[in-house]
Amino acid sequence: MSAGARNVVVTLMALAGVAATIALFVFAARDNLIRYTLNPSGSFAETPQPAAPDYASAYAWSVRDTSASRRADVFFIYPTVYYSGEHWNAPVSNEAVRERLGTIVRPLYAQPFASNANLFMPVYRQAAPYTFMSSSESGRSARLVAYGDVKRAFEAYLAQAAPDRPFVIAGYGQGALYGMKLLADMEPSIKARLVAAFLLEVAIPNDVLAAMVKGLPLCDTPDQVGCAVVWHSTTQTARGDMARENALVWRPSGGFEATRGRELACVNPLTWSISGRAGSPDMNLGAARLNGFGPREAEITRALTSADCWNGLLFTDVEPEPIFYWSGPRYRDLFPSTVNPFYADIQDNVNQRVTTFWAQRTAGAALAEPAVAPETEETPLPETPEDDTLPLPDTSDPEPAEDLTTEPQ
């Protein structure tokens, strides 16, 4: 090899080394780079807000089923699918958001709840990812805008539903955060129709849940109704410090606060209890992954993962694969994964709870019905003379009775 050729090879190798070093640096620092990239350029007050959705319009709903043959409704609040720093809140007209709702969120996350129930999934101005990477006032304002939309959407749902129609509240990620506030603001008469609340992939301290949503315990059996299922999943290799220490939750007195190491709520989706007993992989009815060909349908794999609530977090065997590819280890929990580890478990459990709800309602209605006395025939009173006087008794001597003690002659 000539000297010139050797110089070219050496130069190419050096450039490859530099490129590899830069790539490793970018990969290692991707959390900071993402945080910088997704930071809106102006404050919340300085940035124009997207138009509010009109929930009387079909355009404001990704899904709005109204079948009368299904036994319940599901009000579903989707997770973070807006990956931009252009706005503090996602425009409801954003085509990328709408595409992800139809091809990822609905088949992978909403469908388990809707196998035997009507699905209501409003499009809302969800908070941009940066709002969960910072405790800034702008981020707090953006979350309040998102919750305002969710609340108005739920009110629109109630306005068209039958007054005794049972429903499930289901939310993932930031959707679960708004679902919790929705429960806290719910009137008791409306909450009486709640089958169960599923607040998933969100860090909620037990004391906050108890203080804000009174009378709603954590679910501790598979068929309990009027309760909440809550978990935030992780793995042995993942970072759990953000959920335990820095996740922002509602403050009972108003506003937001960090979790700060408090005990987190966790219901095991394999045992459906808070007892602490781990669920083995053979109990996993099926995890789902979206296929990459044709219509996006979920492919189910049984016995894929175990589940164990430990220290407030749900430990699984499935490494999350965030839809937002560039998310790093610190912020990957903010984005939904391409795998739903408990797809079939949720589907089966929602059906159980809906069945129990109707059984209890039917039994309660039967007990509430007043007892009806059996019908009896009335005995007619004896007729009386027209002059309304009773006949006098006969006082003459009666004929002697025949003597039956002697034999006949």
Give the per-residue pLDDT at 30: 52
Give the per-residue pLDDT at 366: 78
Give the per-residue pLDDT at 399: 43
Distance CA 377, CA 290 (A): 70
**Two structure tokens written together for 172:** 């993932």
Is residue 382 one of the residues assigned to a domain?
no
Q: Domain range holding 129?
A: 25-363
259, 243 in Cβ contact below 8 A?
yes
Distance CA 149, CA 179 (A): 12
When pLDDT is averaged across residues 7-20 and rounded to a whole number, the result is: 57
**Two structure tokens written together for 270:** 């394999």
Whole-model pTM: value is 0.82
Give the per-residue pLDDT at 219: 98
Is residue 212 one of the residues assigned to a domain?
yes
Least confident among 80-84, 140-144, 191-195, 320-324: 320-324
| Structure confidence by residue, pLDDT tens digits, 243-286 | 888 898 999 999 999 999 999 999 999 999 998 889 999 999 99
Inform me whether the pLDDT recorded for 11 exceeds 70.
Answer: no
Neighbouring-strand partners of residue 339: 289
Cα 250 to chain centroid, rounded: 17
Tell me how many helices (H) and strands (E) the chain has: 9, 14
Is residue 385 one of the residues assigned to a domain?
no
The helix/strand/coil state of 205 is strand
The helix/strand/coil state of 310 is strand
Amino acid of residue 261: G
Distance CA 53, CA 94 (A): 12
267, 231 in Cβ contact below 8 A?
yes
Give the per-residue pLDDT at 212: 97
Neighbouring-strand partners of residue 296: none
When pLDDT is averaged across residues 173-177 and rounded to a whole number, the result is: 97
**Two structure tokens written together for 20:** 């590899």
Closest C-alpha to 130, from 173, 93, 175, 83: 83
The helix/strand/coil state of 402 is coil
3-state DSSP helix/strand/coil % of the chain, to nearest 5: 35, 15, 50
**Which parts of 134-273 fold into alpha helices (H)?**
137-160, 174-184, 188-191, 206-212, 241
Cα 13 to chain centroid, rounded: 53
| Structure confidence by residue, pLDDT tens digits, 389-398 | 444 444 444 4
**Two structure tokens written together for 367:** 């007990």
DSSP string, 70-110: SS-EEEEE-------SS-SB--TT-HHHHHHIIIIIIIIII
Is residue 19 one of the residues assigned to a domain?
no
Is residue 377 one of the residues assigned to a domain?
no
User: Which of the two residues, 70 and 25, has the higher pLDDT score?
Assistant: 70
Is residue 103 one of the residues assigned to a domain?
yes
User: Which of the two residues, 397 and 5, has the higher pLDDT score?
Assistant: 5
**Please, how many CA atoms are within 13 Å of residue 344, restricted to the half-sphere of its CB?**
16
Give the per-residue pLDDT at 28: 41
Give the per-residue pLDDT at 131: 92
Inform me whether the pLDDT recorded for 6 exceeds 70.
Answer: no
Is residue 141 one of the residues assigned to a domain?
yes
354, 116 in Cβ contact below 8 A?
yes
Inform me whether the pLDDT recorded for 40 exceeds 80.
Answer: yes
Is residue 7 one of the residues assigned to a domain?
no
CA distances from 382 to 173, 378, 388, 390, 391 (A): 81, 13, 12, 11, 13
Inform me whether the pLDDT recorded for 295 exceeds 80.
Answer: no
66, 145 in Cβ contact below 8 A?
no
* Overall number of domains in the chain: 1
Angle at 263 between CA 259 and CA 268, to 5 degrees: 115
| Structure confidence by residue, pLDDT tens digits, 49-68 | 999 999 999 999 999 998 88
Closest C-alpha to 134, from 46, 35, 44, 37: 35
